[in-house]
Chain A
């Protein structure tokens, strides 16, 4: 069975549902279990024996092995309707000796998920408000606020271009640092709770092009626009 369990791992996808992977050579047994479980689960999919066979050969990287075709199990995937049913399902499945099963749970229990989402939402909101407030304070501290003061600057020989350039550069630097801090913060939160994986199915370790694109979009389009709007407002 170990070949099969190894092969089946490759079919398991990250999901926010609790899924049961049942496999057995006995089709009738699987049908019987289905009846016992039907109150607690929903059918999701079936993995055909051919696909499983192909996966086994890929896993052991050799064709120099003979598999008894009849022993290749049928695999059925169910989704547990409610988190509370998990124990019932486990209890039922333990009664059958000839069935092998894997229960795949999301990293965070569905109970905790909304609380953490709300918590994360509040943290991000506070972070965003702080970020906004800091940007305003920074501009205020950096340079002149009223038209009268800007006029004074010019009358004293100050170049408005240089004033704005300094303002924009410092603000840009601030936004740049805060972007990397946000990414780091998200990374830390994710490391702690595996949140991204469970909420958005993103594996942070394999940063793909979409995330990079978002970061570049943030640095080169959103931030300059934000600076422009802020400089107009201040």
Chain B
């Protein structure tokens, strides 16, 4: 059974901007999926529909065979706790420190790690991304690239079953991009489902994955 299925999904933003039109696709558990397309193709909208920040105007989305319309608010919270989402606009809490932002993700996912263990894991990731010295710095004082790294760590720290990454490499240096891709591949090899939206051709070249290509809100079959 597919993990996520979209059936003739259309999304129209008022007054009349058709972000997605008649999209049907499915994602299997454990798959690495690249969602590609130019800016404005509808990649972010598609991801927002999957993690239900937005509702489709038409069509239906299924999670493990269950239509979203039949899932309750609490069902969705449980699903989101198993998801690691890297938002395009990052959605970091600017007044909290780097460490607090990452720790928050563990707390919200209700992962009850002993304090010391949580600290070790968080610092391990911070070290990997060269951020350990900025652990106590408020996020608002970080650069764009650093914020993006924090957003990435926050998403994966809870060892999610599904990773949804919306342009996670936009402002990041090549070394860190390599690190991010390597972590995503590593997670996928462990059986995690990864859905990565990008318009960066270098990343598309570097990742061997199923590709879903969008253009002006429509699904374009890849030759």
- Show the binding face of A for B, using Cβ within 8 Å: 144, 148-149, 151-159
**CB-defined contacts of A149 to chain B, threshold 8 Å:** 93
Query: Are A157 and B83 in contact, with the CB atoms below 8 A?
Result: yes
How far in angstroms is the closest Cβ of chain B from A139? 14
Which of B53, B93, B105 has most chain A Cβ within 10 Å? Answer: B93
Query: Are A157 and B80 in contact, with the CB atoms below 8 A?
Result: yes
Which of chain B's residues 156-195 have a Cβ closer than 8 Å to chain A?
Answer: none
How far in angstroms is the closest Cβ of chain A from B37? 23
Query: Are A155 and B80 in contact, with the CB atoms below 8 A?
Result: yes
Query: Are B109 and A155 in contact, with the CB atoms below 8 A?
Result: no
How far in angstroms is the closest Cβ of chain B from A137? 13
When C-beta atoms are compared, the residue in chain B nearest to A159 turns out to be B77
**CB-defined contacts of A144 to chain B, threshold 8 Å:** 93
A-B contact count (CB 8 A): 35
List of 9 A-B pairs having minimum Cβ-Cβ separation, nearest first: A157-B81, A157-B80, A158-B108, A152-B91, A156-B108, A157-B108, A157-B77, A157-B109, A159-B77
Give A149 to B51 CA distance when docked, in angstroms: 17
Query: Are A155 and B85 in contact, with the CB atoms below 8 A?
Result: yes
- 13 more A-B contacts (CB under 8 A) besides A148-B91, A154-B80, A157-B81? A151-B91, A152-B91, A152-B93, A155-B85, A155-B91, A156-B104, A156-B109, A157-B77, A157-B83, A157-B110, A158-B108, A159-B74, A159-B77
Contacts A/B (CB < 8 Å), 13 sampled: A149-B93, A151-B91, A152-B91, A154-B77, A154-B80, A155-B51, A155-B91, A157-B78, A157-B81, A157-B108, A158-B77, A158-B108, A159-B77
